[in-house]
Structure 1
């Protein structure tokens, strides 16, 4: 049985649903080439950060020294300028290199929250040859005077600034921490988002109880993280007219099938590749094909959204009923 794994994401034709998400792999041409040969259908570059761009644009060397003297403890949490793996100029050159040497779409990534001059890099991404832009929103509010509406309005305005500046598609990578995610995602779609990536993995700091310090930590994903993505993909996909991608917790071909059944057009994979290398993509594709053959599917589109809120045999299982049933069936 001949299988067709092709899908479309952000209007870009992909040979299969596997996208390698933002990671160090985009920094090296040979590593990126290995991913393409192993089956990656697209590549998201690591993020260029708002703070990083502002740092260069404002030439803050003297100001940073003053900031360090005045607020040494606070400023130490941010990377030094030299610690960023790609300077803004090198980032643009890397886009040009990857797009000229690879056959798969290259998606550039901007990470920030405020409207500002850093958004000019969206135009530069397009000029360098990027096929799309992933706008990575990471907003952590600590000020009790700032409301959820203010935050979402600011993010929508940031998106609108990017969308109006470029002709290539723009996806938004979100955190799950919004009061009404369906309402917010509709607003993002109306503001011009071509797709959504669910979700940003927000690395949580740890406490060193001996040194009495807050420590940055990095923990790669595990398959359990996919559950949150599946639920929201299933809820959003019936009414979302743009593309949807799952990011976080995809570690097997079965996980890919689950994401597509929930309504995803594509999945982003990072942790599995970091652990096992590019060859893991071949395994995922083989397992995904085996699952499709077992269920007699010939095309990804035949089962996309098959278990979303509209098509699920028991939609309540995606809502509050699941919470109640699990708690009430727990026995000791």
Structure 2
């Protein structure tokens, strides 16, 4: 079976992509991911605010020390030589590109326009094959209108696209009021792919200590329905690559996402649970299913369950909700 697919202009040998996670902090892990069949790897995210925080901390130490002990300045490197996070990340890109042939996609989570532009440029120069723009922005200001929120995304995409030549994927959230139209606007702004969906931080409460809990759980297969819906609705209507990145625990979710129209399915939680070699298992199960269903390639079944290809397109809309209610009477 032919598992090759094209994701935002990059030729992949498999539609299974390792999503941004801490596993990719080690080059040896990335080599294993290639060995066990990953089509590409999205590196762990570079967070601009962490870099700014380290830089501010360094400046604070320098300022306080210089007043008390001027001679101590000899023991501190200049700020330009101080590793505030970017050097290590860029070196990780370079090392990975030296060791593997599969695409290595950088992941950037910025907070300032300068940061988006500068770090994107550095990632491209380090050899990244693409950049996943992780716009983790929660509009908590209730006075901020939706148009301003949308423009924030579009401005970021435009700024990065004018800076780099490598493809850009936008990891977006499911909370836009008009997802279809927003997808078109992102395409016009320069996006090459959409990654559905970002799992926003959602707090929980400790009712005994009266504290906000900051734990994070792995995604579950039951979470695929929302991205499955929007991939099936967007397929064939927006000229963008589509990636699914929620709830992929095995080959079943991968198959469903491709049937809906995804070019790739991204996973990290399944590797945390089962180990990096599980990539080989998912690829084999995907091939077995394709053989059973007589599909010779990924393209031969991609999108056949999307809205534009099924016999009853209303199955994705309100009419299907009514049918569900009628069945439970």
SS state of the match for residue 110, structure 1? strand
CA distance in 1, matches of 2:274, 2:5: 25
CA distance in 1, matches of 2:305, 2:322: 20
Contact between 1:114 and 1:155, CA under 8 Å: does it hold in 2?
no
Match of 2:278 in 1: 280
Q: TM-score, normalised by structure 2?
A: 0.90
CA distance in 2, matches of 1:279, 1:151: 40
- Can you list the C-alpha shifts for 1:109-140, whole angstroms capped at 9, x where unaligned? 01135423343110000000000000011111
SS state of the match for residue 162, structure 2? helix
Deviates more, 1:311-320 or 1:38-47: 311-320
CA distance in 1, matches of 2:253, 2:141: 38
1:15 aligns with 2:19: no
Which structure 2 residue ranges, 5 or more long, are not aligned?
65-83
Contact between 1:198 and 1:247, CA under 8 Å: does it hold in 2?
yes
Aligned-residue CA RMSD in angstroms?
A: 1.8
Which structure 1 residue ranges, 5 or more long, are not aligned?
67-85
Match of 1:130 in 2: 128
CA distance in 2, matches of 1:231, 1:285: 24
Structure 2 residue corresponding to 1:148, chosen from 146, 149, 158: 146
Deviation at 1:60, TM superposition (A): 6.2
- Can you list the C-alpha shifts for 1:158-177, whole angstroms capped at 9, x where unaligned? 11110110010010000101
CA distance in 1, matches of 2:164, 2:89: 18
Higher CA-based Rg: 2
- Can you list the C-alpha shifts for 1:282-321, whole angstroms capped at 9, x where unaligned? 1111111111111111011111110111001221111122
Count of residues paired in the alignment: 309
CA distance in 2, matches of 1:116, 1:143: 22
Structure 1 residue corresponding to 2:162, chosen from 164, 181, 189: 164
Q: TM-score, normalised by structure 1?
A: 0.89
Deviates more, 1:178-187 or 1:317-326: 317-326
Cα 1:58–1:167 change in 2 (3 A) is: farther
Deviation at 1:57, TM superposition (A): 5.5
- Can you list the C-alpha shifts for 1:251-270, whole angstroms capped at 9, x where unaligned? 12121111111000001011
CA distance in 1, matches of 2:120, 2:140: 28
Structure 1 residue corresponding to 2:189, chosen from 188, 191, 195: 191
1:6 aligns with 2:1: no
Match of 1:263 in 2: 261
SS state of the match for residue 250, structure 1? coil
Residues 1-332 of structure 1 mapped to structure 2, 5 A cutoff: 3-56=1-54, 61-62=59-60, 87-112=85-110, 114-331=112-329
Cα 1:312–1:166 change in 2 (3 A) is: same
CA distance in 1, matches of 2:2, 2:115: 43
Contact between 2:8 and 2:192, CA under 8 Å: does it hold in 1?
yes
Contact between 1:189 and 1:242, CA under 8 Å: does it hold in 2?
yes
Contact between 2:195 and 2:243, CA under 8 Å: does it hold in 1?
yes
Contact between 1:203 and 1:219, CA under 8 Å: does it hold in 2?
no
CA distance in 1, matches of 2:203, 2:291: 43
Deviation at 1:56, TM superposition (A): 4.7
CA distance in 2, matches of 1:116, 1:327: 51
Cα 1:129–1:90 change in 2 (3 A) is: same
SS state of the match for residue 302, structure 1? coil
Match of 1:70 in 2: none
- Can you list the C-alpha shifts for 1:139-161, whole angstroms capped at 9, x where unaligned? 11111110111011011001111
